[in-house]
Each structure stands twice: as C-alpha cells, then as structure tokens.
Structure 1
C-alpha cells in the first residue's frame, strides 16, 4: 500500500508540473501540448482516483455495497483506458507533425485538437465501462469488492485486453516504427548528399531527430512493459483456471501498470527542453 501511495504521489506531482508548465508559458500552448496535457490529466487522475480505488479493492472494500464497488471499479477502468487512448493520440499527433507537416498544419487546428480530445475521453469512458456491464457475476454471498468477483474475465480478456490494449499497442508500434524508419532514411540521404563533415547543422538536426525517434521507441517499450504483465495474468486466469497465480505476482503486475502514469511525465515532458525551461523560469 505504501508503494502504491508513493507512485500515486509521484504521478500527481509530475503530471501537475506538466500542466503547470503549459499554463505558465504561452509558447507551450500548442496543439502538440494539448495532447500532452490530456495525457497528464489522465495520469493525474490515475494518481488521485484510480490508485486509491485499487488500494481499496485490494483491501476488499467497500463491504456490503455492490453499487459503490461498481463505481470504484468503473472509475479505475475508465481512467486507465483514457490514459492508454491519450498515449495513442499523442503517437498519432506526432506522426502527423513529423511525417506529414503540411497536412498537419491544415488538419490539426486547435478546434480539431479539442474535438479529438473529447473523442479520446468519450471512448475511454465507454471502453472502460463495458466490462462492468456483466457485473452479475459476483456471487450472492460475496461481501467484498474483489475485482475478479465483480468483472467477468471473458470481457476483461477479449474486450479490455485484445480490443482496448492490443489494438492501440499494435497501432503505436506501427506509428513509431514508421517514424523511426523514415527519419533514418532521411538522415542517410542528408549524409550522402551533403556529407556529415561539411554540414554541421545537418548533423545537429539529424542527431536531434534520431534522439526523438529513440525516445518514441522507449515510450512504446515501457508502455508494453508496464501493461502487458497484468493482462497476461488475466489471460492465464481465464484460459488456465487450474493454474496457480500467486497473489504477490498479481499485485506486482498491478503496481507496474500504475508506474506507467508516473513515468509518462519523464518520457513526454521532462525530456523536452521547452518544458524544463518553463518550469525553471
């Protein structure tokens, strides 16, 4: 519990600083940063609401109150789904900004960005609530708010995992992979056409783009590392009912999924000089 609360505090503080940086610096109020702030808001709410709800459900609370139990679990799933979809929105926005700059200027207006944010949160609310529609799975004599007693694991695995995690994961992998391959090709063309020794500016620019592409793949790797274990455990529980999954392993996997919300500010904001300068100034 202490570890969960520490992660929650880090997620709240880190993501609040991201929002603060955009609020304090008008130069940071760009379409790109709208999506980053959306992600920061989702991760802040994970720290404020989702993690405390997870702690309560781990303790089997609330007792004798199925409606309140469903509300807590629904908040937990809606916020985590909104966070995942925000990650996908950031990936799509960066794809257009880097590889389709002319279309980006036409399509990504502030109004369209706000509409995209509304769609992201709307889908997060819908996809996060769907698995709870089969809440009658809870035994009549169950007095505890236990996740596996309330939510049907078929819905969790087939809908929440395959549809709401695997699909965005594959999409992000394709997006980031295309960005990385395209940037590398452009760097090779610059090196051949101009020569690295003759164009220091091109080298500096190329190094910056390479670092950006590497950071994007780091985001994808950490996203998979944080979220896959708990969903793999859910698959094991569904497809192998006789398999014994230690509770300590399940709790560690849940903890790891929450860590992602604390890491996102580092990966999406603190690696950007503009955010660091805004916070320092």
Structure 2
C-alpha cells in the first residue's frame, strides 16, 4: 500500500478512536451523574454507548496493522481485531431494537409506560443485548473460522473475508443484520403512524375540553405526547445515522461473498473505506444527544465545565397593593420617619406559586400570611 494512504488511514482511525472513547464515556458518565437522565430509554442509550466503546477497544489493532502488519499475523489476534467490532454492531442493533420497543410502548401506551417497562424489564433488556453480543465473539473465533486461509500460501493475510468462513457471513451475519434492521424500521414506521393519529385525537379533544390544553396539569396529554415524540424522533435519527454508516459496509461485503469477489482488490479497497464509515457511527451518537436532548447537553456542559455560572439576580421589591385592606402609608410602629415601603421580601419558589394562585382567587390576606 502507498505511504500516503497508510498515513491518512492511521490518522483518521486514531482521531476516531479518541472521539469514540471520549464521547461515549461522556454519555455513560452523564447518565450515572444525573438522576433526571436515568430513564428507561436512556438506560438503553447507555448500553448503546457501551457497544460503541467496543469499537474503540479494537481500533489499536487496526492502526497497528498499518504500522507493522506482523502484529496481526497470529490468527486469533487477527480474529480479535474483527470479533469486537462485530460484537459492537450486534449490540448496537439490539440496543436500537430495544429503544424502538421502548418508544413504541411510550407512544401507544403513555399512561401505562412505567408499569410496563419496569426495572426488571430493563435488566432483562441488558441481558438481551449483551448475551448475544458475547456469543458473537465466541462464534467468530470458533464457528466462523475458515481453517483454509486463502490467498498467498506464503503469507498470512489478516482480512475480514480471508479469515472468516464465507458461509458464516452469507447465512448468519448478513441475514441477521438485515432482519433486525427491517424489524426496527417497521416498529418506527408503526410508532410515527400511530403518533399522527394520537396527535389528531388530542387536538380534537382539546377543542371540547379546555382542561386538556391546560399546561399546568402534570399529566397533560399534549405535553406527554410532545415529549415522547421528541425522544422518538431523536431515536429515529440515531437509527438513520446507524443505517447510513453500516449499510454500505454490509452491501459491499454482500457483493463480495455472494458474487465470489472476495479476492478483488477493487472491492477490498472500497470495503476499507466503508469500514471507516461504519466506525464513524460510533462517534456520532454523543453529538446527536448533545444537539437534540437538553438534559444530556446540560450535563455534558457540567462535566466539561463549559456551563457559565449565572450571577444571582437581586430580588426585585414587591409592588405595594394600593387596594390592600388595613395597609397605611407608614409602618405599623407609627414612626413618621420610617420608609413607607417595607424591605424587599425574598420568596421561595413554593411561596411564589402560592402567592400567584391566591392573587388570582382574590385572597390577598392569605397570600401575605403564607409569605
């Protein structure tokens, strides 16, 4: 390979390794630091971040291959180079499937959501993600191994399709990836189809019942629907970026194994570039969360100490109510030299709410006594 190509690939993959590690560790740290982020959906987001970290663990071997190809001459070291990314892809797909199920329940059954997706279900979801992913590592080393290493018999070639059995890729890897991806797409299509119907029903109901549109209600249907849809759209963006980055790699791999182009230099080069694109996906998810979700963005800023400290604003004097009963121009002590207005009173958030609500109902005396 040309020196320029090798230098560029080493540089790109080194940068990606840093971005993947830094970004996904940031996501995991934010989740465990902030209780507000510890939701069922974000639990699977953290699992997805963990799956992406597996890619970063395998990247040093990928970089080392361009520096000294004898580093991966050992067959099992070579397989380790591919088993972790494959396990990561499997874990990512299963995490996205779990998130799509979570979004389906939240949109279709918003009021039963917490009773359906309990802590026990979250644990089972993590088992559902990681047990098959661990099995992928084992299967790559034993079930997917091609004992006859094709190519130059005098040189051991550490290439994805050189060391793995083509039948393993044909009948297990590609079909499973395709089936899971189609299942996720079908679920999201169903979610957004039913979400449009729910939005129309809520709008129609709010025209007849003004209480439904009252933004002060804790379980306001319109607000719940908007919140669920924002999270669902973010999850759909994550899925879209995943497919955008992964499909080219699997498409090129499929062409090679189904049309006997495994040893084609052209297709091998194309697959190398699609591999870089697939690795890029692991670095994109933290950026999506930062751009789309305020809670994650705020916690990222706190961790990185980027959030500016807002100076405390001095409390504004309370406006005197001219029509307040029993209120004189002077203070209650009767001293004429004392100021006509009392010193500003700092209100707690609770007393402010009580004050505003009682003002609306006309109970001024009660509001002042509560302050």
Which bin holds the TM-score, normalised by the shorter protein?
A: 0.7 to 0.9
The question of 1:106 aligning with 2:118 is answered no
Please name the residue that 1:144 is paired with.
Answer: 157
SS at match of 1:137: coil
Please name the residue that 2:284 is paired with.
Answer: 263
Report how far residue 206 of structure 1 moved. 5.5
SS at match of 2:31: helix
The question of 1:50 aligning with 2:46 is answered no
Quick check: 132-141 or 179-188, which moved more?
A: 132-141
Quick check: 241-250 or 65-74, which moved more?
A: 241-250
Please name the residue that 1:8 is paired with.
Answer: 17
Please name the residue that 1:167 is paired with.
Answer: 179
Contact 1:226 1:259 in 2 (8 A): yes
5+ residue gaps in structure 2?
A: 1-9, 216-220, 303-371
Distance 1:200 1:157, change over 3 A: farther
Query: Residues 132-179 of structure 1: CA distance to partner in whole angstroms, max 9, x if unpaired?
Result: 42331314543232222101222113211111x111101110111111
Please name the residue that 1:184 is paired with.
Answer: 196
TM-score normalized by the length of structure 1? 0.86
Q: Distance in 2 between matches of 1:91 and 1:67?
A: 35
Aligned residues: 278
Distance 1:86 1:55, change over 3 A: farther
The question of 1:40 aligning with 2:49 is answered yes
Query: Residues 222-262 of structure 1: CA distance to partner in whole angstroms, max 9, x if unpaired?
Result: 22111111111111112222576344321110011111111
Contact 2:61 2:72 in 1 (8 A): no
Quick check: 35-44 or 93-102, which moved more?
A: 93-102
Please name the residue that 1:277 is paired with.
Answer: 298
Contact 2:106 2:228 in 1 (8 A): no
Q: Distance in 1 between matches of 2:224 and 2:27?
A: 26
Contact 1:176 1:216 in 2 (8 A): no
Report how far residue 61 of structure 1 moved. 4.5
Q: Distance in 1 between matches of 2:298 and 2:194?
A: 30
Q: Which has the higher helix share?
A: 1
Please name the residue that 2:350 is paired with.
Answer: none
Report how far residue 63 of structure 1 moved. 4.7
Q: Distance in 1 between matches of 2:25 and 2:72?
A: 33
Contact 1:131 1:152 in 2 (8 A): no
Contact 2:51 2:91 in 1 (8 A): yes
Bigger radius of gyration, 1 or 2?
2
Superposition pairs for residues 88-99 of structure 1, below 5 Å? 88-99=97-108
Please name the residue that 1:219 is paired with.
Answer: 238
5+ residue gaps in structure 1?
A: none
